């Protein structure tokens, strides 16, 4: 959600921070602000709305030049998106500035305490109480890091905090609990951000911050301690993509670029996971083959698009391993008292690795003694660190809020896990595993073929720009694809869009069919026993006036008489069809949103990473 940037070094700190905030705009926000340490004091500027509003303010009233600064893009929780509620927040003396991501659950009690002691709070936010508490603690210890540790021990909830104090002009202090924060280490400069994208133009050396840790940033390095003041172990890692990967590269939108990058992303996710014998080798998983062979139940937890990937994974896991598999919305998981044990494997899917609902599900599962395997795109994020093992998707940075390449690479990672479980348990012979691997290895080429034929899909999307509703139908693995297609249209076009299991059509949804209603149908391969049933569904809805938009394999002639618009995708094995069938739906949603004049990369009310429950 909120974007945070901190800098100390020899460059113009304001320029570094503003540049970083621009790179974090994709996370979603409704106000922005900065604080600069200069000339023995603290100067701030903040405005509701987009970053351009802040830039205009800085153009009219420039801040003094300094080498230490913090910045923030806010997603409103406590208090609306106003200038007063924008971050940074100050203490009454204007010596401490704080930015914050997350929610401080006990802020009301803390605010009442501060008011009783004579503090005046100018905003409606939970964040402002931290600035006042830091000022109180600093007055006693004259050490901002120690003040931060003392304050954090009083706070309840999930939070990332970054603060500066006018009396320590070459220091930025950060703290995290269940909310993302990463350190960048440069030559004579240090960075702090909620995402490495903020500082990737300056350094690719990053440090993971663990749970309940405080970091002190100085020009010559960083110091990390726990909330208890004890030194913490520091692990540096190298970010394996550069600044150009987070740029649009000539595309109008990041989403268009990320759709086009899917063949490479799929190939990169497969890279290095197949050994010389043609067998799978997933060394990074870190859960032993012996432990995996004893698994008697798999539970997948995820949110949004990742949940749809998990629904598809269920079909592959059960088919290839014969292990029962459940797919759970992470937000509901721990509240229904799920049945877990030491032989349960919980697979947590999250692009960012910071999704709060999924993180809490991971903690609950581990508390029940289950093994947890993360499928994630972000090195050093919280969910992989708190899991027993991880399979990284290697999709590269995904900036657009609506997920595309992360979804396809999550599918590939799920297929690899399912195959590996089958390999370890002996439910898939070596030659069977190799056959699926060969099929997977062809997928980058097949996705590329789909992308080459998308102009009619774009034309179709433009023609439907002023429709009110679009329905999506699918069966087997086509059902989660239908759900994903509907979600993309909701996210981007702000349209009523619903996905249904085609077999349920006569149990209610067919009542929605009326003249001219666009219905997208994902048709299984003619080799599937469900093919003819779905063709019958198409006939049923067309007879009632629907405009049928049919996604079907090349060579499937049975659908031709019943398709008002036909979109062809390459023939693939049934379980792998989502890798090609989803792509036209992504293009469709993106083009339709563009035709409606919507903001494609940053749709309204949405954030890239949901880091609060």
The catalytic residues are 2, 608
Rounded Cα gap, residues 196 and 5, in angstroms: 10
Cα separation, 64 vs 489, in Å, equals 45
Mean pLDDT score, 201-227: 92
- b/e per residue 23-39 (b: at least 16 CB within 10 A): bbbbbbbbbbbbbbbbe
Banded pLDDT at 612 (limits 50, 70, 90): low
pLDDT band at 477 (very low <50, low <70, confident <90, very high): very high
5, pLDDT greater than 90? yes
Tokens of 366: 């581990």
Which residue is it, tokens 């740029």?
A: 247
* Run of H or E including 409: helix 405-425
Q: How large is the average pLDDT for residues 390-404?
A: 91
For residue 275, what pLDDT band results from cuts at 50, 70 and 90?
Answer: confident
pLDDT, residue 242, reads 67
**Domains of the chain (ranges plus CATH)?**
3-245 (3.60.20.10), 248-450 (3.40.50.10490), 455-595 (3.40.50.10490)
pLDDT (average), residues 273-297: 86
Averaged pLDDT for residues 175-192: 90
| Angle, vertex CA 92, rays to CA 87 and CA 95, nearest 5 | 75
- Residue 54: per-residue pLDDT: 95
Q: Would you state the pLDDT for residue 103?
A: 86
Give the pLDDT score at 30.
86
The per-residue pLDDT for 236 is: 83
User: Which residues share a beta bridge with 213?
Assistant: 176, 226
Burial class (CB in 10 A: 0-12, 13-18, 19+), 527: exposed
Two tokens, residue 138: 């600093």
**Highest mean predicted confidence (pLDDT) among 77-86, 209-218, 574-583:** 574-583
Q: Higher confidence at residue 346 or residue 76?
A: 346
Q: Which of 26-40, 114-128, 407-421, 467-481 has the lowest mean pLDDT?
A: 26-40
What is the structure's pLDDT at 245? 65
Residue range 80-100: mean pLDDT, rounded: 93
Distance (Å, whole) CA 355 – CA 122: 31
What average pLDDT score do residues 592-596 get?
Answer: 96
pLDDT attached to residue 196: 85
- Give the confidence band of 6 by pLDDT, cuts at 50, 70, 90: very high
Residue 277 confidence (pLDDT):
77
Q: How many other C-beta atoms can be found within 10 angstroms of the C-beta atom of residue 60?
A: 8
* Cβ proximity of 302 and 309 under 8 Å: yes
Mean per-residue pLDDT, 280-301: 91
Mean predicted confidence (pLDDT) in 602-608: 81
Mean pLDDT along residues 78-103: 92
Q: Is the predicted pLDDT of residue 540 greater than 70, yes or no?
A: yes
- Determine which of 43-52, 89-98, 272-281 has the lowest per-residue pLDDT on average: 272-281
The CA distance from 492 to 602, in Å, is 9
Q: The tokens of 309 are what?
A: 């990937």
Which residues partner with 226 through β-bridges? Answer: 213
Q: For residue 76, which phi and psi values (nearest 5 degrees)?
A: -60, 130
The pTM of the whole model exceeds 0.85: no
Contact of 90 with 45, CB cutoff 8 Å: no
Q: What is the reported pLDDT for 24?
A: 83
What is the average pLDDT across 254-260? Answer: 94
Q: Percentage of the chain surpassing pLDDT 70?
A: 98
Report, as an integer, the average pLDDT of 518-542.
96
Q: What is the pLDDT of residue 81?
A: 87
Decide if pLDDT at 241 tops 70. Answer: no
């Amino acid at each position: 959600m909120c974007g945070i940037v901190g800098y100390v070094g020899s460059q113009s700190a304001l320029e570094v921070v503003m540049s970083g905030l621009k790179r974090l705009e994709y996370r979603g926000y409704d106000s922005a602000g900065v604080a600069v340490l200069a000339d023995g004091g603290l100067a701030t500027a903040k405005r509701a709305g987009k970053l351009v509003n802040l830039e205009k303010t800085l153009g009219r009233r420039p801040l003094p030049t300094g080498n230490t600064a913090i910045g923030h893009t806010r997603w409103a929780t406590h208090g609306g998106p106003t200038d007063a509620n924008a971050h940074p927040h100050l203490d009454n003396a204007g010596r401490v500035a704080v930015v914050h991501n997350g929610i401080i659950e006990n802020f009301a009690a803390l605010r009442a305490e501060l008011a009783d002691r004579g503090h005046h709070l100018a905003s409606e936010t939970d964040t402002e109480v931290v600035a006042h508490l830091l000022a109180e603690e600093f007055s006693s210890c004259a050490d901002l890091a120690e003040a931060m540790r003392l304050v954090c021990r009083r706070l309840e909830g999930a939070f990332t905090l970054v603060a500066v104090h006018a009396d320590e002009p070459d220091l930025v202090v950060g703290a995290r609990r269940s909310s993302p924060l990463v350190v960048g280490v440069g030559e004579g400069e240090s960075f702090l951000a909620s995402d490495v994208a903020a500082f990737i133009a300056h350094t690719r050396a990053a440090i993971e911050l663990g749970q309940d840790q405080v970091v002190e940033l100085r020009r010559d390095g960083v110091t990390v301690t726990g909330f208890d003041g004890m030194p913490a172990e520091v692990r540096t890692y190298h970010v394996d993509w550069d600044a150009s990967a987070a740029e649009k590269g000539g595309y109008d939108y990041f989403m268009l670029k990320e759709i086009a990058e899917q063949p490479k992303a799929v190939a990169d996710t497969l890279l290095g996971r197949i050994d010389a014998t043609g067998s799978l080798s997933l060394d990074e998983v870190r859960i032993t083959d012996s432990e995996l062979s004893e698994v008697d139940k798999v539970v997948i937890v995820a949110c949004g698009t990742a949940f749809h990937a998990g629904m598809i994974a269920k079909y592959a896991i059960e088919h290839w391993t014969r292990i029962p598999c459940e797919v759970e919305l992470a937000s509901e998981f721990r509240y229904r008292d799920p049945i877990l044990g030491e032989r349960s494997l919980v697979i947590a899917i999250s692009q960012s690795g910071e999704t709060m609902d999924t993180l809490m599900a991971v903690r609950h599962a581990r508390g029940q003694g289950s093994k947890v395997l993360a499928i994630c795109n972000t090195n050093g994020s919280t969910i992989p660190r708190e899991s027993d093992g991880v399979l990284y998707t290697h999709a590269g940075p995904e900036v657009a809020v609506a997920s595309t390449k992360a979804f396809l690479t999550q599918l590939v990672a799920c297929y690899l896990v399912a195959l590996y479980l089958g390999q370890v348990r002996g439910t898939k012979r070596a030659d069977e595993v190799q056959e699926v691997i060969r099929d997977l290895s062809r997928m980058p080429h097949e996705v590329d073929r789909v992308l080459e034929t998308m102009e009619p899909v774009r034309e179709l999307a433009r023609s439907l720009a002023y429709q009110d509703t679009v329905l999506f139908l699918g069966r087997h693995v086509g059902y989660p694809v239908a759900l994903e297609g509907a979600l993309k249209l909701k996210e981007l076009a702000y349209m009523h869009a619903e996905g249904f299991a085609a077999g349920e059509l006569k149990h209610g949804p067919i009542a929605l069919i009326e003249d001219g209603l666009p219905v997208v149908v994902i048709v299984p391969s003619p080799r599937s026993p469900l093919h003819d049933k779905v063709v019958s569904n198409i006939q049923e809805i067309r007879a009632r006036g629907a405009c049928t938009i049919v996604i079907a394999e090349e060579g499937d002639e049975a659908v031709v008489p019943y398709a008002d618009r036909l979109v062809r995708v390459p023939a693939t094995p049934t379980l792998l069809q989502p890798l090609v069938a989803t792509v036209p739906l992504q293009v469709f949603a993106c083009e339709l949103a563009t035709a409606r004049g919507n903001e494609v990369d940053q749709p309204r009310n949405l954030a890239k990473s949901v880091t609060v429950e």
